[in-house]
Amino acid sequence: MIPLPAGVVRQAKAAWIGKCEVTWNEYDLYAAGIGKTGAVANPKADAVSKPSHPYGAPDRGWGKDGMPAISITYQAARRYCEWLSHKTGRVYRLPTEAEWEAACRANDSEPGDIDAVAWHAGNAGGRTHPVGQKQANAWGIHDMLGNVWEWCLTKDAKGAVRGGSYRDAASAIGFRARAVYSPDWQSTDPQIPKSKWWLSDAPFVGFRVVHVE
């Protein structure tokens, strides 16, 4: 986690943002109970609802080790934060859009060569890449631009994703890049109701967390 300067997160003594996007290694601890957390059992954490078992491969067969967790709904990302908070006894949540944007802009420092900092349509080969491979921004945060769109909290119940992904042109990613859920993101989910947990057609959506004190 990377400490955020005072004032970025309002009404917090201190705050940190994920240095990287949440990986499958981290997400599967919650979603599939795979791996060891090292944390003591917590009934409240166990009580957080868990994702359904996906029919198919939400990672698109691109692999899991070190790769950003993808195809994740807004609800699933928020439940992960809830689970992580219970598990650790600390407060984790998604960033607000303002927080995300501040962390992305890093005091309006020079973003540098786009190829050096971001996976985008021009260099990603049509897929996600392990987190943290590209140069960090001035605050030490990786992959704010590109690789996967990242969920942020919004005042409505829908959330928004920011930053752009591996499938967007370099010119289309940036701190202003923003999208909201579209039915296209689940167009080939063959069930009704469609999954509350998995986006069958949005392997370009992931998230990172903030931690506040």
Partner 1 sequence: MEGQDRKEQDSAPSLSRRDFVATSAASAAAAALFATGNYAYAQGSDRIRVGVIGCGGRGTGAAMNAMLSARGVEIVALGDLFKDRLDGCLNHLRDTVKNADLLKQAPDLASRLKVTPERCFTGFDNYQKVLAAGVDMVILATPPGFRPIHLKAAVEAGKHVFMEKPVAVDGPGIRSVLASAELAAQKKLGIVAGTQRRHQNNYRETIKRLHGGAIGKILGGQVFWNQGGLWKHDRRPGESDMEYQIRNWLYYTWLSGDHIVEQHVHNLDVANWVLQAHPVQCVGMGGRQTRTGPEYGHIFDHFAVDYEYPNGVRVLSMCRQQDGTDSNVSERFVGSNGDTNAAGYIGGANAWNFSGPNPDPYTQEHSDLIASIRAGNPLNEGRQVAESTLTAIMGRMSAYTGKVVRWEQALNSQESLVPTTFQFGPLPTPPVAMPGKTELR
Supply the angle between the helices 24-31 and 74-88 in degrees, to the nearest 10: 80
The enclosing H or E element of 3 equals strand 2-3
Using the minimum distance from each CB to partner 1, give the nearer residue, 25 or 135: 25
On whether the CB atoms of residues 148 and 177 are closer than 8 A, the answer is no
Cβ of residue 109: shortest distance to partner 1, in angstroms?
Answer: 34
Cβ of residue 201: shortest distance to partner 1, in angstroms?
Answer: 4
Cβ of residue 24: shortest distance to partner 1, in angstroms?
Answer: 10
Cβ of residue 181: shortest distance to partner 1, in angstroms?
Answer: 10
Sign of the CA dihedral running 45, 153, 18, 169:
positive
State the residues that interact with partner 1 by CB under 8 A: 28, 32, 34, 52-61, 63-64, 182-193, 200-202
Using the minimum distance from each CB to partner 1, give the nearer residue, 115 or 189: 189
Using the minimum distance from each CB to partner 1, give the nearer residue, 60 or 176: 60
Using the minimum distance from each CB to partner 1, give the nearer residue, 64 or 178: 64
Cβ of residue 132: shortest distance to partner 1, in angstroms?
Answer: 21
With helix as H, strand as E and coil as C, how does 159-193 read?
A: CEEECCCCCCCHHHCCCCCEECCCHHHHCCCCCCC
Q: Round to whole Å and give the CA distance between 146 and 164.
A: 5
Q: Round to whole Å and give the CA distance between 100 and 103.
A: 5
Cβ of residue 47: shortest distance to partner 1, in angstroms?
Answer: 17
On whether the CB atoms of residues 109 and 81 are closer than 8 A, the answer is no
Using the minimum distance from each CB to partner 1, give the nearer residue, 72 or 103: 72
Beta bridge partners of 95: none
Using the minimum distance from each CB to partner 1, give the nearer residue, 16 or 185: 185
Cα torsion at 88, 91, 92, 94 (round to 10°)? 160
